[in-house]
Structures are given as C-alpha cells and as structure tokens.
Chains A and B, each alone.
Chain A
Amino acid sequence: MKFIIAIILTALLSFAVGLFQFFPWWSFVVCALIVSVAIPQKPWKGFVTGFVALFILWIVLACIIDIPNEHILSKKVAQIIPLGGSYILLIIVTGIVGGLVGGLGALTGSYIRQK
C-alpha cells in the first residue's frame, strides 16, 4: 500500500512541478526524493517507486500528446534520435529516461531515512 501511495504521490508532485515552466525539466527529482524521505521504504523499493512513477507519468503524458498528433512528430524524432522511426520505442525511451532520473532521486531519498 505504502508502495502504491508513494508512486502516486511522486507522479502527482512531479506533474505539478512540471507545470511551472521556470523550474528546470529535472525538478521532479526533488519530488521523488521528498516522497522517498516522507514515506520510507527499502532502497531498492524506493528506486522502483521513483522509476515506476516517472516512467508511467512520462509515458502517459507523451501518449496524451502523441495520439491526437497522430504520431506526426514522434515518427520524425524517432529518426533523429535514432530509433528507426518507431514512435512506440520513442515513447518507451522517454519513459525510461524519466524513470531512471526519478528512480535515482528516490533512491537517494531512501538512503537519507535508512538506518
């Protein structure tokens, strides 16, 4: 239960902080860390919490944009990145990048509370 709440909380806070454009893109790392401090878990679980929260958040946000765009831009970017023009891969890569940063932030937080 703690695990699920931590994920939801991290994702919501990260989304909220992203609405403020004057904060840099990586500001959510602080959210992941704070949630991880507030809801202590084992370090590996902390990492998974941060990873899953941001992975899901970024994938959902990307899809909300990509579907009405009918993949026009994602297909082009997936050739620049390069991912063979696959928008699905690009969305997954987006999720992984967000997830890794969020996971490491949360991991750091969980070590603060670890005895």
Chain B
Amino acid sequence: MRIVPLIISAVATAGLVAVLNMQLPSGATKTPRLGYFLSPQHGFWQNAEPVTIDFPEAIRVSGVKNMVDVFFDERLVPHVYAESNADAYFIQGYIHAKFRLWQMEFQTHIAGGRLSEILGDSSSLVVDKYFRRLGMVYGAEKSLKEIESNPQTREACDSYTAGVNAYIKSLKQNQVPFEYKLLDYSPELWTNLKTALFLKLMSYDLTGGTDDLKYTNTKNYFGYDDFMKLFPNVQDTLDPIIPRGTVFEKPAIDVKTPVNLDSVYFNRKDSFASTPPIMPNKSNGSNNWAVAGSKTKSGRPILCNDPHLGLRFPSIWFEMQITTPEYSTYGASFPGSPAIVIGFNDSCAWGVTNAGRDVKDYYEIKFKDSTMQEYWFENSWKQSEFRQEIIKVKGKPDITERIAMTVFGPVMYDKTYGGASKDGKYYAVRWKAQDASNEINTFYKLNRAKNYLDYVEAISTYQCPGQNFVFASKSGDIAIRQQGSFSARWKQQGDFVMPGFDSTYMWQGPIPVKENPQMTNPERGFVSSANQQSVDATYPYYLGRAGNFPPYRGFIINRKLAAMNNITPDDMKLLQTDNYNVFAEICKPVLLKYLDETKLTAEEKRYLDIFKSWNLRNDANEKGATVFQTFWDSIEMQTWGDEYSKMKLPAIWPDESSLIESFINDSAYKFADDINTPNKKETIADVVLAAYQKAAKQLAKMEKTNKLEWYKVKDTYVAHPTKLPSLGRYHLNTGGGAHAINATKSDHGPSWRMVVQLTDKIEAYCVYPGGQSGNPGSRYYDTFIDTWAAGRYYSIIFAKKQEARKDDRMKWHISFVNG
C-alpha cells in the first residue's frame, strides 16, 4: 500500500464527490447538486419522457373502491369514469399530481409563507413574511374547518388528498419532478390545508390588489380635491353588467356613514414607505357572456368565458372530464383542488370573471405601548391576542413572526416589520379571505347543476373572491350574478386607510345575497361581464374605487353582442379573440383634435400617418397599435410625470379613462400644466404636442431596430416560476391588448378560452396557453401555446364511457384498480 498517494487520492475522490453533491452559489441563486443532477439514473435525465409516451394499462393503487377507467385523448386530456364521488376525486388528485405535482406544492408554499424552506434566500423570506402577516394561513385554517364540516366537500377533499398522496408514495426518488431536482428538495405529502391555502392564493390574486396604502399616499400628496379630479368615481364609457336604469330593491341594510369623516378619514396623514413584494396584476380580470337561443343560429344558448390571469408554465389550469353515474362534467380544474372550476355538464355551462369589489381594508391601530398588548378601541383599552407564525429557513434558524390580532384582523404592519410606515404607526388589515368560507362547495354543486335553480343554489354560499358567475342551460336559460360576500359600504369606505379606534368604520353587512347584482333571461338576449362596475350609481351600496373596474372591454362586448344575430360558436371564437381597440377608437379623434400638425417635421408626420390610417385593431402586425400605445404612454407621462416625479412615497397613477375623459370634458384640465415651468401655463394642446414629439423619437428608434409591429412591442411570453428562459416560451407572435376583448398583454392574458353551445349534443371548444403536462421534459409541456397564440381552438370531446371506448382520438386507457 502506498500511503501518501492513497490518502491524496482518497481525499480527492471524497472532495470531488462532496463538491458535486452540494449546491454551489451561482449569482443570487444556487446550482443543483451537479453530480446528482447529471446522473442518468438519478438526476434530470430521468425526467426526459419518450415523445411516444405510454402509460400502463392498469395501475394498482390502494384507495380506490371500484375500478376507475381513465381515457386520455390525443391532447392528454383525461376523461375519468368512476363509480363514486370518492373515487372520482381520488383519481383527480392522483392525475393532478402525476402531471402537476411540483406546481401544486410550489403554489401552496407561496400561499403558506414557506418559500424560505426551499429557497432560503432573502427575497423568499420577504414574500413569506408578507403572506403570513396578511393572514393567509390564518384564513386557510378557518376555511379548512368550514370545508371539513360539510360532509360533501370533506369527502371530496379527503379523497382528493388521498389520491395525491397515493401518487407521491408511488414515486421512486428518481421520478420526482424536474424542478425538485433543480432546486434540490423533495415533495411532502398533501393535506386538505394545502387545498385551502391554494384557494386563498386565488383570493389574493383576485382581491388582494386594492391598494389602499398607495391611494392614501397619493391622496395625501395631491390633497383630497385634486385627488378626486385624478381619480374620479365616474366613467363615462361605463356600460355596467346590469344595464343602466335597472331599478334596485330597497336595501335591507341601512348603511350608516360615520359622522367624523373629514377629521379622521379624509384628512388623516399617513406615509407608507413599503410596497408588497407580490402584488396581483391589476389586469387580473376576464370576459364572460352568454347569448340566448333567440340570438343564435341553433336556437340554443352559447356561453363563453376567458379568465385573464398571469401567463405561466405550468398553466394554472388542467383540463379534464369527470363522470360518475350521478353526473358528467368537463372543463378547467385547478391542480391543487378537487372539482371543475369553469366548464359545463350534461345540462348547463358556467363561467366566471372577477367582481373586482373592494374586500380588503387597512385600519390604523393605536397601541398603548410597543408591546402591543392593548389598543384603543371605542374609548377603552382592549386586549390584543397574538398569533405566532414560524417560518423555517433552509440552512438557517427559524424566524418567528409574532402578530397582534385585533377586532379588525392581524396587525400586518408593526415596528418589527421593517419600513412599512415612515411615521411608525401600526396598521391592521381586514380582508374577506381571512374569514372561513367553502368555495369548493359552489364548484361541487355547479358540476352537478341541472338547471337555473341549481345554479342559484350552488353559488349562493360563495364568498371570496367575488365573481360574476355567468350561466346558460340546455333548457334555454341564461343568467349572470355578481356573487360574493360583500360588506355594505358607505361611499368611499375603504378607499384609504381608516381609523381603528372607532367602530363606525368597521364593515357593515354583509349585503344579502339576493341584493347582489343579477340578471336572468333579459329581453336583449345576452348577459355579459368584463370586470367593469356591475351597476350604476343607483345601486344602494358602494362597490369600491372605480379605478378597480376597467370599463372598455365590457363596453365593446356589449356593443358587439347587441348587434349580433344568428350567432354560431365560430362567431363567438372570433369575438373572444377580437383585437379591436375600442379605447383607441375613443382617443383617436380627441388626440387628433388637440395635436397641431403644422408644428411637426416631415419625419414626425410619417408616424402620424400610420396612426391616422390605422384600422384601430391590435392585430399582431399592426404598426398603428404601436404608434398609438407609444403616443398614449407619452401623454400620460407628459401630463402627470411632473407631479409624480416629486412624490417620494409609493404612489398610484390614475387610470386611462380618467385622462381621456378629462381631455374630452375639461378643456382647461389643471394637470396639463407643467409645474416645473412656473412662468408658463401649458394647455392640453401643449401636452399632446410635446408628448407626440417625444413618442416620435421613440418610434424612430423602434423602427431602426425593426420593431414597429405591435406583437414585437407587446412581446407576449409565458414564463416558468424559476424565470429560466429555456423553461418558458418567449416572443410569441400574437395580437391583443389591455382594452381589446383579446386581452393578451406581455405576461398576462386569456388563461383559458372556452365556447360552449348548449345543443342536445354539447358543442364545445377550448384552448389554454400551456400544456397538460407540467414536466419540461414532456412533449405535452407546451403543446397548446401556438394554437392559443394563433387564436385557434380545440374541439372538446365530451363522451360517455361507451363512446370513449370506441373513439379513436382516445390514445391511452388506464384502469385504476384497488391494490
């Protein structure tokens, strides 16, 4: 034995293995354990599926009671045929996990404030603290009790969880999804709480964006009167979901407005310095509509829905059919939750858009001292309770958030939560999603609904996030209802931070369900919603800031539907993917009126000619759309940039409708003046000219790099949560825009397009920007992207079991048997 070389060699071997077996720092992140990751028998290679994927004919799994047949069609959409509810949800859980396990767990790690456990970096800790302090886990725990106290939803969730776990337990280590290997952790077992957490994350995505803190800063900076000029609660273009002129019943709740509004509400001073680490996209909205048989060629209703959400891999949706002897349903499901969320069954179809109502408010809490033991409420000191949130951090000690709980909710911002308020104040957050609720129950019942009354019953208990539920049935009914648990607000309640010592500022209500805006079988032959305000000002309750409700998509949808007759599903596909920019239609004459063309150079005029001859469509190759958007952005900056550049705190900018309607209605618009030129008073014409000249310069630059086509500027992409470019799809050639019915923007847009015609044999079409498999190593990872980008659809196979057996579009068949 040669000792010295032996030792050197042994140490070198151990050293190399050790280095290849650890995560090495790489910029802000870490590499995978390279030896493990590259090992063909353990690492990522194991996730590379053959393109001619095959499934076993039978899978033995402990937990199913009877045999469950699952047919996968050529798009990898599973059609599940089970004998019982328990078996159906068990298999739904199993299949969700089989194709989307990493996504399911990652989403609930975000929701539950547990990202630090797997990432362990500073930015994940910021997100974790934020969601813990907001009360996500607190709310999910309460909802879990509610879900589990209902025998039906309990069975659904228990079965679903058992199915997910049956799959996780069947996994060999080398079969864990790709991302676990990349980020180096392992899946843990699923629980019903994770389902509840996921649904709270959806609530956050759809109701978390009401930004009272930024509004408060902005109001303080401008003063109340100017603020109201910039943020009016009126939109001239508004065509509400429930048509103007509808008479509302006398309200059951007599909303009491506090008497001291001016002193303790409108004129209070706060200065918020921090902004949330994750903010829902302001455009999280959607379109839905149903047309009655009187307007269709078939004489039967057609229902359409396209929810607009962040575009990402894997998609938030997973398409499937669930059939039991009791019912048969098809549509988009959430990996992480049982049931179909948007879809149809043998008798009817339903869809949702976001209601956008304000259900999240902040209250300033006055504590006796920094121990936060007692706070001033209704003229006495009230005892706080405390909630501990323990955050585990990968490779570091745990962090405990000790959160004071008040009658309003958790004190989100205190002195331990850095930099929230410059003046050291405490703020509690009251958010509807902190309450117990059972949304699964609504989807459970909608999946089985036979008629209009079942639909009304199904949605009547639905609380948060408030949605516009559209409905259509084979029997010919169409309906829409804005459903959620909404507090009965006085005008402007919750626009800004409210005082937390006075009970008159607390939520009143909730508004009785029967008073929620609704409409059934209207004479005009259609119902629709697109996140606009649901009612006009005669509705007895306040909805929240108008800025939360974009008016333009709703306006154009209603105009188009009113003019259409003999409608076919193909017409509906064209409408859903329509790129007409109605906002530009409104702006174009106004901007041209104010723009003094004689002051433009020949070069500048060239772009104006493109704008003038533009067909007002945001189609992929339109250059006019680029000119308009650049011009418009420049006008906003020219009008308000001088004011906002002086503001030192996080602020919110007014909406487009505010600017264009001011230009139309107020030729002496105050904010046209540039406050940096005290000796000169600029007019709207000055603003428009200067803005145009700046825009022309920008356009010239774009043209030089050959980037004047709208799709290149909008640059739509679908990214993976890791932001790794190779796991996403970038630079998609597709049209659309914020105010087009096809609301496709850069990383946001129609996340599921569905058209359902309720003929005896249902005729349905759908598409979503993603693929059924969440595995980047599968050919089914991004299968639908190009079809979606081109505005095309897939024809849905909604088959009975015997039909599925014979249908040659069914490519695979798995029988799940107990074992």
Q: Cβ of B173: which chain A residues have Cβ within 8 Å of it?
A: 21-22
Complex interface bits, A62-84 against B, C-beta within 8 A gives 1, otherwise 0:
10011011101111110110000
Does any Cβ of A come within 8 Å of B331's Cβ? Answer: no
Complexed CA–CA distance, A68 and B46 (Å): 12
Does any Cβ of A come within 8 Å of B229's Cβ? Answer: no
Pair B20/A26 contact, Cβ less than 8 Å: yes
Chain A count of residues within 8 A CB distance of the other chain: 42
Q: Cβ of B36: which chain A residues have Cβ within 8 Å of it?
A: 24-25
Complexed CA–CA distance, A70 and B41 (Å): 18
Does any Cβ of A come within 8 Å of B699's Cβ? Answer: no
Q: Cβ of B145: which chain A residues have Cβ within 8 Å of it?
A: none
Does any Cβ of A come within 8 Å of B560's Cβ? Answer: no
Interface residues on B, range: 35 or more
Q: Cβ of A21: which chain B residues have Cβ within 8 Å of it?
A: 42, 172-174
Does any Cβ of A come within 8 Å of B38's Cβ? Answer: yes
Main secondary structure of the interface of A (DSSP, over half): helix
Closest Cβ neighbor of A62 among chain B residues: B40
Pair A108/B48 contact, Cβ less than 8 Å: no
Checking B16, B42, B49, B51 against A100 with a beta-carbon cut-off of 8 angstroms, the contacting residue is B16
Q: Cβ of B42: which chain A residues have Cβ within 8 Å of it?
A: 18, 21, 25
Given the contacts A21-B173, A68-B52, A101 and B35 also touching, CB distance less than 8 Å: yes
Complexed CA–CA distance, A61 and B767 (Å): 37
Closest Cβ neighbor of A77 among chain B residues: B44
Complex interface bits, A26-51 against B, C-beta within 8 A gives 1, otherwise 0:
10010000000000000100000000
Given the contacts A75-B726, A101-B35, A69 and B9 also touching, CB distance less than 8 Å: no
Complexed CA–CA distance, A43 and B1 (Å): 12
Pair B46/A65 contact, Cβ less than 8 Å: yes
Closest Cβ neighbor of A63 among chain B residues: B40
Complex interface bits, B8-33 against A, C-beta within 8 A gives 1, otherwise 0:
01101100110011000000000000
Q: Cβ of A113: which chain B residues have Cβ within 8 Å of it?
A: 1
Pair A112/B1 contact, Cβ less than 8 Å: yes
Q: Cβ of A107: which chain B residues have Cβ within 8 Å of it?
A: 9, 13
Q: Cβ of A114: which chain B residues have Cβ within 8 Å of it?
A: 1-2, 5-6
CB distance from A78 to the nearest CB of B (A): 8
Q: Cβ of A65: which chain B residues have Cβ within 8 Å of it?
A: 40, 45-46, 48
CB distance from B4 to the nearest CB of A (A): 9
Pair A104/B20 contact, Cβ less than 8 Å: no
Given the contacts A29-B13, A65-B45, A101-B13, A58 and B182 also touching, CB distance less than 8 Å: no
Q: Cβ of A97: which chain B residues have Cβ within 8 Å of it?
A: 20, 34-35, 38
Closest Cβ neighbor of B4 among chain A residues: A111
CB distance from B635 to the nearest CB of A (A): 40
Q: Which of A25, A93, A98, A107 has the most CB of B within 10 A?
A: A25
Checking A25, A62, A112 against B6 with a beta-carbon cut-off of 8 angstroms, the contacting residue is A112
Q: Cβ of B172: which chain A residues have Cβ within 8 Å of it?
A: 21
Does any Cβ of A come within 8 Å of B178's Cβ? Answer: yes
Pair A69/B51 contact, Cβ less than 8 Å: yes
Pair B16/A18 contact, Cβ less than 8 Å: no
Q: Cβ of A22: which chain B residues have Cβ within 8 Å of it?
A: 173
Checking B52, B724, B777 against A80 with a beta-carbon cut-off of 8 angstroms, the contacting residue is B724
Complexed CA–CA distance, A58 and B35 (Å): 11
Q: Cβ of B34: which chain A residues have Cβ within 8 Å of it?
A: 97
Complexed CA–CA distance, A66 and B46 (Å): 10
Does any Cβ of B come within 8 Å of A94's Cβ? Answer: yes
Pair B17/A26 contact, Cβ less than 8 Å: yes
Complexed CA–CA distance, A111 and B40 (Å): 29
Pair A105/B13 contact, Cβ less than 8 Å: yes
Checking B6, B41, B726 against A108 with a beta-carbon cut-off of 8 angstroms, the contacting residue is B6
Does any Cβ of A come within 8 Å of B56's Cβ? Answer: no
Checking B5, B41, B724, B727 against A25 with a beta-carbon cut-off of 8 angstroms, the contacting residue is B41
Closest Cβ neighbor of B779 among chain A residues: A72
Does any Cβ of B come within 8 Å of A1's Cβ? Answer: no
Complexed CA–CA distance, A19 and B46 (Å): 12
Given the contacts A25-B41, A101-B20, A101-B35, A72 and B51 also touching, CB distance less than 8 Å: yes
Pair B21/A26 contact, Cβ less than 8 Å: yes
Q: Cβ of A79: which chain B residues have Cβ within 8 Å of it?
A: 724-726
Pair B726/A76 contact, Cβ less than 8 Å: yes
CB distance from A95 to the nearest CB of B (A): 9
Q: Cβ of B182: which chain A residues have Cβ within 8 Å of it?
A: 80
Q: Cβ of B716: which chain A residues have Cβ within 8 Å of it?
A: none
Given the contacts A18-B39, A65-B40, A80-B724, A111 and B13 also touching, CB distance less than 8 Å: no
Pair A26/B38 contact, Cβ less than 8 Å: no
Q: Cβ of B45: which chain A residues have Cβ within 8 Å of it?
A: 61-62, 65-66, 73-74, 94
Q: Cβ of A94: which chain B residues have Cβ within 8 Å of it?
A: 38, 40, 45
Closest Cβ neighbor of B720 among chain A residues: A76
Checking A26, A70, A111 against B51 with a beta-carbon cut-off of 8 angstroms, the contacting residue is A70
Q: Which of B20, B36, B44, B48 has the most CB of A within 10 A?
A: B48
Closest Cβ neighbor of B728 among chain A residues: A76
Q: Cβ of A111: which chain B residues have Cβ within 8 Å of it?
A: 1-2, 5-6, 9
Q: Cβ of A73: which chain B residues have Cβ within 8 Å of it?
A: 44-45, 47-48, 178, 776-777
Complex interface bits, B757-771 against A, C-beta within 8 A gives 1, otherwise 0:
000000000000000
Complexed CA–CA distance, A4 and B46 (Å): 29
Pair A25/B776 contact, Cβ less than 8 Å: no
Closest Cβ neighbor of A67 among chain B residues: B50
Closest Cβ neighbor of A109 among chain B residues: B9
Pair A72/B13 contact, Cβ less than 8 Å: no
Complexed CA–CA distance, A39 and B478 (Å): 82
Does any Cβ of A come within 8 Å of B778's Cβ? Answer: yes
Scan residues 773-801 of chain B and give those whose CB is less than 8 A from a CB of chain A: 776-779, 781
CB distance from A12 to the nearest CB of B (A): 13
Pair B39/A58 contact, Cβ less than 8 Å: yes
Q: Cβ of B466: which chain A residues have Cβ within 8 Å of it?
A: none
Pair A108/B174 contact, Cβ less than 8 Å: no
Q: List 20 A-B contacts (CB under 8 A).
A: A21-B174, A24-B21, A26-B20, A26-B21, A43-B5, A58-B39, A61-B40, A66-B45, A69-B51, A70-B51, A73-B44, A76-B777, A77-B44, A79-B725, A79-B726, A104-B13, A108-B9, A111-B9, A114-B1, A114-B6
The 9 lowest CB-CB distance pairs between A and B, nearest first, are: A73-B777, A61-B40, A18-B41, A68-B50, A79-B726, A69-B48, A111-B6, A104-B13, A73-B48
Seed contacts A21-B42, A43-B9, A104-B16; 9 additional CB < 8 Å A-B pairs? A25-B42, A58-B39, A69-B50, A69-B777, A97-B20, A104-B12, A108-B13, A112-B1, A115-B2
* Chain A residues at the B interface, C-beta cutoff of 8 Å: 15, 18-19, 21-22, 24-26, 29, 43, 58, 61-62, 65-66, 68-70, 72-77, 79-80, 85, 93-94, 97-98, 100-101, 104-105, 107-108, 111-115
